[in-house]
Amino acid sequence: MSTPVIAVSGLSYRYPDGTAALSDIDIHIHAGERVALLGPNGAGKTTLVLHLNGIYMAQTGSVAVSGTPISKDSVMEARRRVGIVFQDPDDQLFMPTIADDVAFGPQNLGLAGEELTTRVDEALDAVDIRDLAERSPSHVSFGQKRRAAIAGVLAMRPDIIVLDEPTANLDPAARRELTEVLDSLDVTQLIVTHDLLYALELCPRSIIIDDGTIVADGPTRDLLADTELLAAHRLALPFGVSLEAQGDS
């Protein structure tokens, strides 16, 4: 078995007030996987994600990226290898043009000239917004902003990208465009979402977290077909949706 891109072992975390946020989390994600992280509000999804690139550091247990444990000495490399695309793209887009935003990360690695241009062009092409390169992020649609934020992460050539609620606030057309983009990317993905049908469409594997604990990890279709499991953890398919009618994922 290959070295996992993400290996979380025995991870527990308490907030400063003593509240337990995560308890004995074990997760392994391998290169090329596309995995959904599901759970109700307050389940611990965000706290877990913020451990994956060292925004939070493990109190108990460990988090390793491509075989390297995250520590104070390795945290900058972890942040290059694990790119997080936040729910609100305005949290990531702040430069005068989209191209400038996409270039920002590689420039901070010391890239310049033709190498930098290549990184930016490849990332813009990957999300199909090369024609928007010189546009201001404030003058494009919300869906285009989200793709620009993804391009900024891809330009760092990460081992894995983590997307927080990627379908939030997208209209159906933008949702479909994003699906096509994510399906085409040759990079490991962890998709944090409340949208169970989106998880079914894109992610062969899903992990369910609730109350800071992993309660299920397996094929997405199997987990979403388990109505008792979903109900126990405050998850539900849209009313009237037949799982069988969605086709194989």
How deeply is 180 buried, as exposed, middle or buried, from its count of CB atoms within 10 A (0-12, 13-18, 19+)?
A: exposed
> What is the tens place of the pLDDT at every residue in 2-55?
899 999 999 999 999 999 999 999 999 999 999 999 999 999 999 999 999 999
90 in helix, strand or coil? helix
241 pLDDT band (50/70/90 cuts)?
A: confident
Max CA separation in the chain (angstroms): 56
- Give the residue from 83, 82, 57 showing the smallest Cα distance to 5: 82
The answer to whether the beta carbons of residues 141 and 149 sit under 8 Å apart is no
> What is the tens place of the pLDDT at every residue in 180-238?
999 999 999 999 999 999 999 999 999 999 999 999 999 999 999 999 999 999 999 98
> What is the tens place of the pLDDT at every residue in 109-159?
999 999 999 999 999 999 999 999 999 999 999 999 999 999 999 999 999
Query: Average pLDDT, stretch 168-174?
Result: 92
Token digits of residue 240: 């009237």
Task: Compute the mean pLDDT over every residue in the chain, rounded to the nearest whole number.
Answer: 93
Residues 82, 71: Cα–Cα separation, whole Å? 14
In 86-234, the DSSP E strands lie at 160-164, 188-192, 205-210, 213-219
DSSP assignment of 178-217, as one string?
HHHHHHH--SEEEEE-S-HHHHHHH-SEEEEEETTEEEEE
The structural domains of the chain, ordered by start, are 6-246 (3.40.50.300)
Displacement of CA 15 from its chain's centroid (Å): 23
The answer to whether the beta carbons of residues 2 and 33 sit under 8 Å apart is no
The answer to whether the beta carbons of residues 144 and 89 sit under 8 Å apart is no
Sequence-ordered list of residues with C-beta below 8 angstroms from that of 171, at least 6 positions apart, any chain: 143
Q: What single letter denotes the amino acid at residue 47? A: T
What is the pLDDT at residue 249?
A: 41
